[in-house]
Structures are given as structure tokens and as C-alpha cells.
Structure 1
Amino acid sequence: MLSFILLQATSPQPSEWALFLGRFHPLIVHLPIGFLLIAGLLELDRVTRRQRVSSHTITLILFWSAVSATMACIFGYLLSLGGGYDEQTLNYHMWEGIGVAVFAWIAWAVKHERIGPRIRLGQLLYFPALGLGILLLLAAGHEGGSLTHGSDFLTQYTPEPLRSLAGIPPREQTVEDIPAITDVNQAMVYQQIVHPILKTRCVQCHNPEKSKADLRLDNPEMIKKGSEDGPVVVAGKADQSRLMKVCLLPEEDDDHMPPKGKPQLTENQIMLLTWWINQGAPFDKRVAELKVTDDVKPALASLGSGAATGSQQVASGPAPESPVLTMKLPAADPKAVEELRKTGLLILPLSKEQNQLEVSAVNARTFSDAQAAALPKLSQQIVWLKLGDTEVSDATLAQVAQLKNLQKLHLEQTKVTDAGLKNLKNLPYLEYLNLYGTAVTDAGLKELAGIKNLKTVYLWQTKVTDAGVAELKKAMPNLEINMGLGESSIAQFMKADSSAPEPDKAK
């Protein structure tokens, strides 16, 4: 094992074995914490209350505390090879951890019934070694928490007057402190929209104490600086910005961010970040100062608690230009609503004053064509239908065709094909269509050309070609076609990225 560690120390890049074993450090590190604290408590109980605790029991506990502390040091070192940690904090944590292991071994050796008597003045060393081991354990735990959660994790919410008495600096603004958005148009785009998204999804791994890939996303200066590979935001070009590219990769991809298992960006959050970058990635602009495109209006509207004003109206709900969102509709049949809810669908009104409904399969991944037969019973009220990641196919689109007031349709990651798209031609209000991850081809795009009010279509990871997209764009010049991360765009990005100058030289 020692030769393995020395080999890693001289290697320019850690091996997969090193990174794999290093990930076990957070699991192993809890063992010496428990063992050493138990040993300390048993000794305290024995001394203060004269309890008859077996010396062999305490010796055994100390042995395993020393072994697990040593293993924690080894695996912690392997974890550190991945980089991205504040060097000073990491060094403190490392040497404190090594101290825990050393003093645990000393305490065990002195306490051992055969080894202890052979150590001169051994009994005098026992309690100091045990005490120092526990103190270093607490210190190492604090530094480890700082590496993982930030240096102010324990003190961030210290209230006054304790904060002043302890000499703790004034608390920095958190997401909870950001003023609520009451007028979307007057909201500061970075401070009130972009920063909260990055804070909750990205900053945990890209902060002053832990900057994976030498990237920090906690303030404008660091965002502009980018990572060790160069800029992550290309102002005006979201499709060329690494920040967005890694978010749009499949979740199983090693480069996908946030990592699998972490809270992922929502569709609205991706839309807002994309819009911000395409508008030049400003850090000092309000929403009203930027061009608000139709596709981002629903995402912006979801942020506000009040009505927006000004020339760029962003009402509560989707884009207000669609007449179906303001027309008077009859109330939904309660029996039909209940029937759909039994299939697992989530049914929500778009507003309290009107009867338009959003129907979502976010919690009904097994929703099928057979169950879709109940959709037409709410043919007038359903205006948003989200069937992404379900088991529906072309047969369901025959039922969807009866939803005459449908404005937004999600079919991403379903079995829908070109044949099913023919059913959508006669939906007069359909403006948004998401076909990400389906088997749709250029032939299906020809069917979309007949949907006169269609404004936005998502075609990531479909079988359409650039030629097919060009034909659709020619037939519908005002249609926004989002292709996400195609192979060509990835290749172009990598080519541009490899030829880009170093950040300091670019200046």
C-alpha cells in the first residue's frame, strides 16, 4: 500500500484506482470518530465513577480506532489527489488526521497489557495521548467540514450578539436573504435569478475552499475568470459556453454537471441560464433592460409573486400572447379529473381565476397509451401537458389531438415517432413542443410545418439532420429550434476550446 501511495504522489494524473478508493474516505472517517470518542467516554466514566470497565475492552476499542484512523488517512490522501480543495485547509486537515492516528496508536500501545509495561513511563503518556487524539479529532472534523461545506459552515447563521462577541464578520448574503421578486421586470438578472441557481446547484463544488477544475462560481469575477481549461461562459453564445454544455450532457456522462446524485437543474433553470448568457451574461442589468424572448417568459413568470409591468409583460403563467390562456373555459368535470389522478398524473390549475389546467406525469413514469384514453375528457381545460419520460407512443397522440386548447406539449424521452406527429396538425394553439430524445426524423419535421402557431421546438438527441432543420426553418422562419448538444456543436466547441489562448495571454 505504501508503494502504491508513493507511486500516486509521483504520477501527474491519479489513476482510477486512486480516485475510486479515495471516495471511501467519507465512509471510513466516521469509524475513528466513534471508536476514539467511546474510548474517551469509557475512561472518563471509569475515573469519575470508579466503574469497573474491562481494560481489554478499552484496548480493543483503541486498536480499532488506530487502525481506522490510519485507513482514513490513506483514503483521504487518495481523495485529495482529485484536486479542487483549498491547499491550506487541506494541509491542516491532513496533519490533524495523521496526528489522530499517531496518538491513537500511542494510547493503544500504552494501554496494551503486554506492550504497555515495556514502555518506560508509559502510564504517564496514556491520558495525554488519548486527550490529544480526541482534540485533534475535533479539529480535523472541523477542517473536513470546511473542505466539504465551506469555512463558515458552523458559524454562518450565528445570531447577534454572539457574532459580535466572538469577533465573527457580518454574515454574507445567502439565497434566503435575496429579496423576493415582486416585479419580474425590475428584478436584477444576476443577483436575483442567476446567482440563486448557481448557489443551490453549483457552488457547493465550486467555491473558495473547494474549486473543482479550478473553477469558482460564487461571484462574478470568478465566473468571468473561468476554469483551468479557460472561460466557461461565452457572452452571447450559450451553445458555446461550457457551463451550459456540461449541464445538457446525459446524466450518466462523467462530465455532466451537477454530478449524478446531486440536485439537478430544472428545465426552467436551464432556460434562464441559457437566456442570461445569450443576452450577454450581464451582472448589472434588470430583466426590463434585456430582450425577453417568448420561450423564457414562462420561466421568468414562475419567479415572481406579483404582476409585472412595462413593455415586456411577463404575467403569471406562460406567455400571455396566447389567447387560450385568457379565454373563458368551463370548469373541468370533477369525475374526469379524479380519473386522471388515479393514473398518477398531477393536475394543477394555471390560476385561481380560470379553468385552464396543467397535467404532468412527473410522478407517473409508467403512464401508458391505455391510460391516455382519459385525456380527451378534459379536452377543453388541458393547456399544458407534460408526458416526458413516460411509456406513451404514437397512439397517445391520437388522444392528444383532441385537446383543442393545448398550448405546451412535452414528449421528451418517449416512444413517439414521425407517424404520431401527424396528429398534431390541427391543434390551433400549440406553441411549444419538446421532442428531446425521441426517434423523430426529418420526415416528422415536415409534419410540424403544418402547426401554424408553433413557436418553440426542442430536438436534442433526435434523428433529425441539419438539412431537415434548415427546411423547417425555411418553412417557418420565426420558429425557434433548439438542437441542444449535437455532435457537430460538440466538435466545434472542442476545436475552438483547444485552439483558444490561455486566459492570462488572452488579455
Structure 2
Amino acid sequence: MNALILVQAVAAQPSDWALFFGRFHPLIVHLPIGFLVVAGILEAGRRLGKIGVDDSTITAVLFWSAVSATMACVFGYLLSLGGGYDEEILDEHMWQGIGVAGFAWVAWAVKSDWLGDRIPLGSVLYVPALVVSLVLLAVAGHHGGSLTHGSDYLTQYTPEPFRTLAGLPPRAEAVAMKPITDVNQALVYEQIVNPILQSRCVQCHNAEKSKGDLRYDSPEMIRKGGENGPVFVAGKGTDSEMIKRCLLPEEDDHHMPPKGKTQLTEGQVALLTWWIDQGAPFDKKVSDLKVNDAIRPVLAALGGGAPAGGGTAVAATSGPAPESPVLTMKVPAAQPGVIDELKKAGLLVLPLSKEQNQLEVSAVNARSFNDTQAALLPKISDQLVWLKLSDTGITDAALVQVAKLKNLQKLHLAQTKVTDAGLKQLKGLANLEYLNLYGTGITDMGLAELATLSKLRTVYIWQTKVTETGLATLKKARPGLEIIGGINEQAVAEFAKAGQAGDKAIEPAKN
């Protein structure tokens, strides 16, 4: 009885060592798969006379099949201690894995010269044991995929007529963020928030796999939260766990989605933050909520450029938001040759609308973009209004070229090496409204340079060297400027410490 209580206690609070080794299960589990399949192929080929192989070779392969299958069971059990899996599927997967190991040992034993002659009816047991182990391997693999990706992982994309022949239900329509005809009338949760959650979060937080006892697959589950409490604080986006996790460095263990998974875009994080800031409603339209200047262009992009109003319906049009003159002014089309040069440098060049010639340039697929290549940008200074250079190799030298973009409205410099000296170059950007400096080395001195940008409305300074004194100074100089701060290094350390202790998480500042 005491032993049972001890086992239950260990399972309830697994050690770091258990979870560490458990993470190796996906790696080790491929070994028995390979060994058993090879053993099956060799045995079938030998019996059909297609492969010349002696019994000792097959015996050796079966031995390592059994050993690796046993190791996979142990590491799989350690992984399961972390929780977050559908218990019924997990139980079936566990026993199927044990079955694979057990029958692999039987197949090896009756095949080996050492034990085969000592086991009654050994020759009769060999083929059934090998076949059963292969069948269980396939079934266990299916359930393993179900635990990780959902029960319909293998069958989700089964085409017709095979879908009907297999008795599978009609394929459900994938939830995707599709262009919205009238942004103002769009249901915020159903048409904007839920598609983001479905594409980035539900894979690990659903009815069959609920990491941290958290699910994002329905409004009820989102409201419920997880083992650490609610995932959002209505009215406080950046104070909400959902947003804080997204803003952590990707290398941080608490960052979501985990490193290696498709990450949320800045626009998606902005939309989720705005939704929570507005009270996280599940039944309201965009027109029912307040739309600030920072989120307006993000919403407009969902409708192919149609403007979004705040609390007042605005007729859908085909052009960008009219509040920014540079988005509607008449400019000549960019030279095709220049566009080709930019694309050869790895940049994405996208029109903001079909009717206008304004362009967005993004280095999302060109992380090696550098100061030298930045000299290409002024060649489209009339047309370039949105520029995204985050996570690239640029330094202050590139901002000399950026300063020549007279119609630039949005500038993303997150996670680059720009400093205070570079920000001085931006004083001439008379149309700049949005600036993202997340993860850069700017200080109070650089922040003070922004006071001269009269049209600047929003600036992001997460994880910079800006102090509260610098923030207060800029707020005094520019009362209407929205300054969004975030998690500094000290707060990240506190967050990690709190996570290890199981206590409450940090609360990043929004200024």
C-alpha cells in the first residue's frame, strides 16, 4: 500500500530527471520500428527465397528490436508523467508498446540458438510472435501520433472515395483566417481569434492532448484556463499568460508556441492582445469594440485592406486605411527591375492593394539581409510604406538608407543590432506612425530621439535597455504616444524561477 502511494506521488510530481529522459522517447521509439521492420522484411525475403540471409543475422536484429522496444517503453512512461495526454489513448498506447517489446523478446528467444531449443513449440511460436509484434507496432504508432497530433492525424486528409469506403465521416472544414468582406461586421472570436488559435495552439491544447491541462479548442475551455490558472485577464492583454508566453524569447522553455513550431506573427500577437484588451468577448463584432490606431491596419489587412472603424460601421472599400495619407496618395508604380533586385536579395515585395502602388517589403525569409543590401531600399522610396527588417543582420548603417524612405509608415526593427545612434537617422521620417524596437539595444537616449517624430503613434520597446525614467520623459514630451513595454531580463528570470517553483507567473508592464 505504501509503495502504491509512493508511486502515485512520484507520478503526480515527476522529477526533472524523469521528464528529461522522457523527452528522448520520440527519438528512441524509432529504433524498434526500424529493427522490427527490417527483421520482418528479412524473414519474409528468406522464406520466399528472395533474400539470402542466415538465421544469426535475423536473430541479432530481433535482439536489438526487443532491447530498443523495452527502452522505448521506459522512456515513454517517463514522458507520460508530464501529463497533458488523453488517458484512454495513453493507456492503449502504453499496453501496445509493452506488447511490442514482449512479442519481440518472444520472437528473439525462440529464434536464438541459445534458447530456441529449450522452449516447447518454439518453432511454432516464432512467426506468430513476429507478426503480432509488427501489428502492435503499427497500432501503437497510430496511437502515438494521436497523442501528439490528435486522433484523426492519419486520416484527416484521406481523399474520396477512400474516405467513404473506410466509413470515415466527411472531412471537416479547416479553420483558417480567410479574407473578410466587411471587417467591421466580422465576429471577433469566430473569424479572427479562433483561426489563430486553431493554427498555432490547438495542436497541443485540445481534447486529446491538453498540455498544462489547457485547451484552446472551445470558448468554454479557454475561459477555464489550465493548471496555472486563467490564460487571459479580461481588459489586460499584456498581463495575460497567453500573451506573456508569446513575448518571451523563442529559446525560453516557457515560450509559446515551443521553439520548432510555427510561431505567431506580430500581427497575430497584436490581434490577440487587442481582443483581450477589449474584454476577450466571444460574441461581439469588430464594430462593437474600440479599434485604436495600432490595430487598425492589422484588421484592415484581414479584409484585403478595407478600413476598420472603432464602434462605428465603416463601408468596406478596396483601399488601405484612409487615416494615413501615404496609404492613399497617388504614387507611380515601382520599376519591375528594382522589384526583381529586391526579390533576389530574398525580400518579399507585396502590394497593399490592387488599386494603389504602395508596397510592403518584408525580410521574413531573408534573415541574412544586411547593411549593404539595404542600399536597394531607396530605389522604391515613393512606394515603400511598410518595412519589416526584424531578425536580420542590419545595424545602424542600414538606417541611413531607411531614412531616405520618405513615405515610410511602419518600420519593424525587432531583434536587430540597431542602437541609439541609428535612431538619430530616423528624424526625417515625417510619416512614420509605427516603430517596433523589441529586443534591440536602445536606451533612454535613443528613445528620446523619437519625440521629434510628430506622426509616431505606437512604439514597441519589449526587452530593450529603456528605463522607467526614459519612458516618463518621452510620455511627457509626447502624451498621445502609445508606448508598449514588456518583459525585461529581470522579469524573465523571475518568470523562470516562478515556473520552477509552481508559483504565479510574472506580470510584464504595459506602458
TM-score (norm: length of structure 1) = 0.87
Aligned to 2:377: 375
Corresponding residue number in structure 1 for 2:142? 142
Kindly report which structure 2 residues correspond to 1:235-384, keeping only aligned pairs within 5 A, or say none: 235-305=234-304, 307=306, 311-312=313-314, 319-384=321-386
Residue 145 to residue 416, structure 1, CA distance change in 2 (3 Å): closer
Q: C-alpha separation between the residues in 2 aligned to 1:50 and 1:462?
A: 67
The aligned residue for residue 182 of structure 1 is: 181
Kept after mapping to 1: 8 A contact 2:182/2:315 = no
* SS in structure 2 of the partner of residue 295 of structure 1: coil
Q: Distance in 2 between the 1:397 and 1:308 partners?
A: 30
**Contact 1:376–1:399 at 8 Å: present in 2 too?**
yes
C-alpha displacement of 1:261:
1.0
Name the counterpart of 1:210.
209
Q: 1:117 aligned to 2:117? A: yes
In 2: Cα distance, 1:159 partner to 1:344 partner:
36
Single out whichever of 167-176 and 263-272 deviates more from structure 2.
167-176
Alpha-carbon separation, structure 2, partners of 1:315 and 1:489: 44
Shift of 1:416: 2.5
Q: Is the 8 A contact 1:297 1:314 kept in 2?
A: no
Q: Give the distance between the partners of 2:503 and 2:371, measured in 1 at CA.
A: 47
Note the C-alpha offset of 1:50: 9.4
CA RMSD of aligned residues (A): 3.2
Q: Which residue of 1 aligns with 2:105?
A: 105
CA distance in 2, matches of 1:433, 1:32: 52
Q: Distance in 2 between matches of 1:214 and 1:63?
A: 39
Which residue in the other structure is 1:503 paired with?
Answer: none
| Residue 439, structure 1, aligned to residue 441, structure 2 | yes
Change (3 A) 1:120 1:430: same
2:462 maps to what in 1? Answer: 460
Change beyond 3 A, Cα 1:292–1:110: same
Contact 2:350 2:361 in 1 (8 A): yes
Q: Which amino acid aligns with 1:288?
A: S
- Contact 2:464/2:488 (8 A) holds in 1: no
Give SS of 1:206's match: coil
Paired residues of 1:83 and 1:212 also in contact (CA < 8 A) = yes
2:432 alignment partner in structure 1: 430
Distance 1:26 1:319 in 2: 48
* Count of matched residue pairs: 493
SS at match of 2:302: coil
| Contact 2:307 2:322 (C-alpha < 8 Å) held by counterparts | no
Alignment partner, residue 61 of structure 2: 61
**For each residue in 1:154-207, what CA deviation from the matched residue of structure 2 results, as whole angstroms up to 9, or x when unmatched?**
34345678767766556555325x875332222221122111111111111111
Greater Cα shift, 214-223 or 324-333: 324-333
Partner-residue secondary structure (3-state), 1:135: helix
In the TM superposition, residue 215 of structure 1 has moved relative to its aligned partner by 0.9
Which ranges in structure 1 are unaligned for 5 or more consecutive residues? 1-5, 501-507
Identity of aligned residues (%): 67
Offset at 1:132?
2.5
Cα separation, 2, equivalents of 1:421 and 1:53: 71
Structure 2 Cα separation of the partners of residues 20 and 316 of structure 1: 53
Structure 1 equivalent of residue 151 of structure 2: 151
1: CA distance, partners of 2:174 / 2:345: 40
Whether contact under 8 Å (1:302, 1:317) holds in the other structure is: no
Residue number in structure 2 paired with 1:399: 401
Match of 1:175, SS state, is coil
What residue identity is the alignment partner of 2:472? A
| C-alpha distance in 2 between matches for 1:47 and 1:414 | 63
CA distance change for structure 1 residues 50 and 458 in 2, over 3 Å: closer, same or farther?
Answer: closer
Which residue number in structure 2 is paired with residue 35 of structure 1? Answer: 35
Q: Distance in 2 between matches of 1:363 and 1:174?
A: 26
- In structure 2, the CA distance between the partners of 1:326 and 1:18, relative to structure 1 (3 Å rule), is same
User: By how many angstroms is 1:285 displaced?
Assistant: 1.6
The 3-state SS of whatever aligns with 2:101 is helix
Displacement of 1:456 in angstroms is 0.8
Cα distance, 1:306–1:351 mapped onto 2, change above 3 Å: closer
Change (3 A) 1:50 1:325: closer
Whole-Å separation in 2 of the counterparts to 1:481 and 1:246: 20
Q: What is aligned with 1:10?
A: 10
| Inter-partner Cα distance in structure 2 for 1:121 and 1:369 | 76
Instruction: Tell me the CA shift for residue 305 of structure 1.
Output: 4.5
Aligned counterpart, 2:82: 82
Normalised by the size of structure 2, how large is the TM-score?
0.86
Cα pair 1:301 1:316 within 8 Å, conserved:
no
d(CA) in 1 for partners of 2:474 and 2:436? 15
CA distance in 2, matches of 1:42, 1:399: 65
Partner Cα distance (1:23, 1:271) in 2: 32
> Which secondary structure state, in structure 2, belongs to the residue aligned with residue 59 of structure 1?
helix
Task: Confirm or deny: 8 A CA contact 1:36 1:134 kept in the other structure.
Answer: yes
Tell me, in whole angstroms, the C-alpha distance in 1 between the residues paired with 2:319 and 2:148: 38
Structure-2 change in CA distance of 1:35 and 1:472 (3 Å)? same
What aligned pairs does 1:478-493 form with structure 2 within 5 A after superposition? 478-486=480-488
Is structure 2 residue 59 aligned with structure 1 residue 91? no
Range moving further from structure 2, 316-325 or 408-417: 316-325
Q: Distance in 1 between matches of 2:94 and 2:436?
A: 49
Q: Secondary structure at the match of 1:195?
A: helix
1:106-147 Cα shifts (integer Å, max 9, x gaps)? 121112233111112222322332232223222212211211
In structure 2, relative to structure 1, the CA distance for the partners of 1:369 and 1:313 (3 Å cut) is farther
Find the aligned partners of 2:140 and 2:423 in 1 and give their Cα distance: 60
| Change over 3 Å in CA distance of 1:298–1:316 after alignment to 2 | farther
Q: Decide whether the 8 Å contact of 2:442 with 2:465 is kept in 1.
A: yes
CA contact (8 A) 2:306 2:319 kept: no
User: 1:200: which partner in 2?
Assistant: 199
- Closer/same/farther in 2, CA of residues 425 and 67 from structure 1, 3 Å limit: same
- Go from structure 1 to structure 2 and tell me whether the alpha carbon gap of 1:319 and 1:442 turns closer, same or farther (over 3 Å shift): farther
For 2:213, give the aligned amino acid: D
